[in-house]
């Protein structure tokens, strides 16, 4: 060992020791913060499925590759980070001697070839990612970027570190080539040989380059260890457990889609018959009341902004960005952590749990952070502004896009639950809807004895449950389908098509009440459970004696479809629920319905969030429309899993849209730009919102918004009335 190698070895050991010590301290801090969260025992179920899903999503980059070039570039960088960590390890041998290498595999030609290829792909990948970040920088001309609000220096820092590590890896190999100490042939490592051809014959070159490579790597580790909220770096470690502990590992997309998490206290579902607000947690009032998985979510955020780029609220000038919401919760949690770890915190009655002695040594900033309300205006010092909380449509676009499986919607609804149930703080116009649900069983406040009025004038009898026992499907009409004029046309169309196809079905009529979706999404879990338990009891009675496979329900509203199929199981209601487009597609495919006259004029289809993104029903409505129009649909740019919300979900249907551009107008402009004369929908909320948007644009005579079922009916029975100008909804 020469004098240069003595120096490089000592320096490498010193900076590594500092970096490792700081990293261990940072990891222990992060673990301590995450453990402050509430229990979530369900996250430990089915470990085999969880491990499989984690490996598929990480190694296969299944979520990232939805973004094409970005996903591919990131995959190359990820593989480079994992595999080329071996070359960082090899650098420790090279600082000791310039001819050093990894024991055993370090001399294998296949190892040299593999690392050469990965190095080059990693270089291409990181340069592409750097170019994309620069092209989409928030300060660029042309509007807001998905990186708006991200901590940009951290992104640039990480990318430059990766680039420099790769470059110095090649320089080490080049110096070995130049000094004729390189173990791999030219055919396996052509780039390394090319670099060596232009480098001087410097015997200590490999050791010096190895020291610099180690210093760069350890500088990265030191910086991220001093910044535990640096998600752009920490996600490469935290993504693995965050994906492993996702809510439903079997789901192909975001596990936070579909059903909401039940309202829990101390990790157990809350039973409202026994719940006590002074003993049980009602929603989330403080950051430590999120589950530990929630705190892991916040820690894992990469600040990539994919959620933000797809969010309908953010894209129409609302203050909500799913990314910024998560970052605010993350920063608040870590700033408040010293207070919480010292024993501080409020009990459920609002009393301080810590003694003065426990809090005496705390930094004033931590105490100030502890005093911040979780939900509050800027004047109140709130972490999350109320306008942010109530702008969410729960469309799930953020969950769909997140590459590390953060469950934004669950966290938003948990905060809403506390605001509604304990603080009684929510947009005033939504109060009418909630009172109508409690008193009338529907959000419009229509009389219950008018639930069957849609059947009047049909040329066939609509059977009721109880009057007939021999039915295959229970037709869940829903509140909109029963009371809202536009939706009633869809209800009549579906009933007519089922009758035409010879499907035996029955309705509950006045025995049906609201599914509870708007109450649950706004955060009123109490009203949801009241309605849901009533419906579960009614449905169980209707299906008495039938096994689950024969407890079939068809619903026209995706919100009812989602609630009955995905959430009623939490309350003892196990049913096979299909959307009407799925059943109609089956009936057409089996020849029970035959389109005879194509619908012309051009048709585009709007994917409802709760049908498409939340429940992955993309093909069925398109198959129905394809048969009805005898041609291809004109797709909007944002379609399928990237469909843009109509603005009505999350109980926003009953709240005024006072900030920014109206979401439904944005979507209508996209639909009209296709040139289609018919905008087909599969949801009564979407029908109302898009119809209002079309009328607001003054295009009501040129563009028609109509349900998929009505399009099919026009093709199957051309003699049916073609409709006309839609009337205003009840209570609208």
pLDDT in tens, 206-226: 999 999 999 999 999 999 999
Mean pLDDT of 73-100: 92
pLDDT confidence of residue 193: 96
Rounded distance between C-alpha atoms, residue 497 and residue 491, angstroms? 10
Model confidence pLDDT, tens digit, residues 589-616:
999 999 988 887 889 999 999 999 999 9
Residues 461 and 563 in one domain: yes
DSSP states along 438-469: HHHSSTT---GGGTTGGGTT-SS---BBTTBS
Residues 207 and 164 in one domain: yes
Residue 726 placed within a domain = no
Residues 328 and 471 in one domain: no
Residue 36 placed within a domain = no
pLDDT confidence of residue 419: 97
Residues 411 and 453 in one domain: no
Asked whether residue 660 carries a pLDDT value surpassing 80, the answer given is: yes
Of 422, 443, 471, the position where a domain reaches its end is 422
**Buried/exposed code over 570-581 (b: 16+ C-beta within 10 A; e: otherwise):** bbebebbbbbbb
**389, 420, 723 from 428: Cα distances, Å:** 14, 11, 35
Give backbone dihedrals phi and psi of 506, rounded to 5 degrees, phi first: -150, 155
Residues 211 and 268 in one domain: no
pLDDT confidence of residue 349: 86
Domain residue limits at 109: 3-26+49-139+147-243
Above pLDDT 90, what percent of the chain? 84
Residues 418 and 434 in one domain: no
Rounded distance between C-alpha atoms, residue 139 and residue 1, angstroms? 51
Residue 41 placed within a domain = no
Mode of pairing for the β-strands spanning 268-269 and 264-265? antiparallel
Q: Please tell me the total count of domains within the chain.
A: 3
Model confidence pLDDT, tens digit, residues 5-39:
999 999 999 999 999 999 999 999 999 999 999 99
Of 402, 232, 229, 387, nearest to 314 (Cα)? 387
**78, 626, 628, 671, 672 from 602: Cα distances, Å:** 44, 11, 11, 11, 11
Residues 393 and 455 in one domain: no
Q: Which two tokens stand for residue 610?
A: 């709760």
Residue 538 placed within a domain = yes
Residues 263 and 172 in one domain: no
Model confidence pLDDT, tens digit, residues 428-438:
999 999 999 99
Residue 318 near residue 14 (C-beta atoms within 8 A): no
Residues 492 and 588 in one domain: yes
Give backbone dihedrals phi and psi of 603, rounded to 5 degrees, phi first: -130, 135
**Average pLDDT value over all residues in the chain:** 93
**175, 180, 234, 692 from 121: Cα distances, Å:** 21, 26, 22, 50
Rounded distance between C-alpha atoms, residue 624 and residue 57, angstroms? 32
- In the 8-state DSSP scheme, what is residue 429? H
DSSP states along 96-143: H-TT---TTGGG-HHHHHHHHHHHHHHHHHHHHHHHHHHHT-TTSSSS
Of 375, 400, 422, the position where a domain reaches its end is 422
Residue 691 near residue 705 (C-beta atoms within 8 A): yes
Q: What's the length of the chain?
A: 732
Asked whether residue 398 carries a pLDDT value surpassing 60, the answer given is: yes
pLDDT confidence of residue 545: 86
Q: What is the 3-state secondary structure (H, E, C) of 194-237?
A: HHHHHCCCCCCHHHHHHHHHHHHHHHHHHHHHCCCCCHHHHHHH
pLDDT confidence of residue 252: 64
Mean pLDDT of 523-537: 96
Residue 43 placed within a domain = no
Q: Which two tokens stand for residue 405?
A: 């499986």
Residue 727 placed within a domain = no
Residues 379 and 446 in one domain: no
Residues 400 and 438 in one domain: no
Residue 470 placed within a domain = yes
Residue 249 placed within a domain = no
Q: Where are the beta strands (DSSP E) in 393-538?
A: 473-476, 505-506
Residue 707 near residue 688 (C-beta atoms within 8 A): no
Asked whether residue 731 carries a pLDDT value surpassing 50, the answer given is: no
Residue 491 near residue 477 (C-beta atoms within 8 A): yes
- In the 8-state DSSP scheme, what is residue 654? G
Of 243, 265, 281, the position where a domain reaches its end is 243
Residues 417 and 434 in one domain: no
DSSP states along 671-698: HHHTT-SEEEES-HHHHHHHHHHHHHTT
Residue 476 near residue 467 (C-beta atoms within 8 A): no
Model confidence pLDDT, tens digit, residues 268-325:
999 888 888 888 999 999 999 999 999 999 999 999 999 999 999 999 999 999 999 9
Q: Which two tokens stand for residue 544?
A: 């008495």
This prediction's pTM? 0.93
pLDDT band at residue 143 using 50, 70 and 90 as cut-offs? low
- SS3 call for 89: helix
Of 193, 166, 189, 200, nearest to 177 (Cα)? 193
Residue 322 near residue 256 (C-beta atoms within 8 A): no
């Amino acid at each position: 060992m020469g004098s240069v190698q003595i120096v490089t070895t000592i320096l490498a050991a010193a900076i590594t020791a500092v970096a490792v010590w700081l990293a261990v301290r940072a990891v222990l801090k992060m673990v301590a913060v995450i453990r402050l969260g509430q229990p979530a025992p369900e996250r430990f179920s089915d470990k085999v499925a969880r491990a499989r899903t984690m490996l598929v999503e990480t190694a296969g980059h299944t979520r990232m590759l939805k973004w094409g070039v970005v996903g591919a570039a990131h995959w190359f960088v990820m593989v480079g980070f994992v595999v080329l960590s071996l070359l960082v390890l090899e650098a420790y041998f090279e600082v000791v001697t310039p001819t050093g290498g990894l024991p055993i595999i370090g001399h294998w030609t296949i190892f040299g070839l593999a690392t050469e290829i990965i190095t080059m792909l990693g270089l291409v990948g990181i340069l592409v990612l750097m170019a994309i970040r620069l092209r989409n920088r928030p300060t660029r001309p042309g509007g807001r970027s998905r990186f708006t609000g991200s901590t940009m220096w951290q992104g640039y820092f990480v990318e430059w570190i990766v680039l420099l590590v790769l470059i110095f890896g090649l320089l080490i190999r080049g110096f070995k080539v130049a000094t004729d100490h390189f173990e791999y042939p030219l055919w396996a490592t052509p780039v390394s040989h090319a670099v060596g051809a232009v480098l001087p014959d410097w015997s200590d070159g490999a050791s010096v380059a190895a020291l610099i490579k180690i210093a760069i790597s350890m500088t990265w580790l030191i910086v991220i260890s001093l910044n535990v909220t640096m998600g752009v770096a920490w996600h490469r470690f935290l993504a693995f457990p965050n994906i492993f502990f996702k809510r439903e590992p079997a789901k192909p997309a975001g596990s936070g889609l579909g059903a909401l998490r039940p309202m829990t206290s101390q990790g157990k579902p809350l039973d409202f018959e026994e719940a006590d607000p002074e003993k049980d947690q009602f929603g989330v009032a403080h950051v430590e009341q999120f589950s530990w998985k929630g705190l892991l979510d916040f820690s894992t955020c990469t600040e990539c902004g994919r959620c933000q780029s797809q969010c309908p609220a953010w894209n129409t000038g609302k203050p909500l960005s799913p990314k910024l919401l998560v970052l605010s919760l993350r920063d608040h949690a870590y700033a408040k952590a010293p207070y919480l770890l010292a024993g501080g915190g409020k009990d459920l009655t609002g009393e301080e749990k810590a003694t003065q002695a426990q809090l005496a040594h705390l930094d004033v900033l931590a105490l100030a952070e502890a005093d911040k309300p979780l939900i509050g205006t800027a004047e109140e010092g709130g972490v999350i502004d109320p306008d942010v909380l109530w702008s969410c449509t729960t469309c799930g676009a953020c969950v769909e896009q997140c590459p590390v499986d953060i469950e934004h919607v669950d966290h938003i609804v948990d905060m809403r639950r506390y605001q509604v149930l304990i603080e009684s703080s929510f947009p005033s116009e939504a109060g009418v809807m909630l009172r109508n649900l409690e008193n009338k069983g529907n959000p419009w406040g229509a009389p219950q004895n008018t639930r069957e009025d849609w059947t009047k004038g049909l040329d066939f009898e609509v059977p009721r449950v109880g009057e007939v026992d021999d039915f295959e499907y229970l037709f869940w009409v829903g509140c909109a389908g029963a009371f809202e004029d536009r939706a009633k046309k869809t209800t009549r169309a579906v009933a007519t098509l089922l009758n035409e196809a010879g499907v035996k079905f029955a309705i509950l009529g006045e025995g049906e009440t609201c599914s509870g979706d708007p109450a649950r999404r706004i955060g009123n879990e109490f009203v949801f459970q009241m309605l849901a338990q009533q419906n579960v009891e009614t449905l169980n009675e209707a299906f008495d004696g039938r096994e689950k496979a024969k407890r079939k329900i068809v619903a026209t509203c995706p919100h009812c479809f989602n609630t009955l199929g995905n959430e009623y199981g939490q309350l003892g209601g196990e049913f096979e629920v299909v959307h009407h487009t799925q059943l109609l597609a089956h009936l057409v495919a089996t020849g029970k319905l035959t389109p005879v006259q194509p619908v012309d004029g051009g048709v585009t289809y709007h994917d409802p969030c709760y049908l498409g993104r939340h429940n992955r029903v993309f093909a069925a409505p398109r198959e129905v429309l394809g048969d009805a129009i005898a041609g291809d649909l004109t797709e909007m740019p944002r379609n399928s899993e990237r469909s843009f919300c109509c603005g009505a979900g999350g109980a926003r249907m009953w709240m005024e849209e006072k900030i920014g551009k109206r979401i439904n107008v944005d979507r209508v402009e996209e639909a009209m730009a296709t040139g289609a004369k018919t905008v087909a929908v599969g949801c009564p909320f979407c029908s109302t919102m898009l119809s209002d948007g079309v009328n607001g644009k003054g295009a009501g005579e040129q563009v028609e918004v109509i349900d998929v079922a009505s399009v099919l009916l026009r093709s199957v029975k051309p003699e049916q009335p073609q409709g006309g100008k839609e009337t205003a909804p009840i209570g609208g």
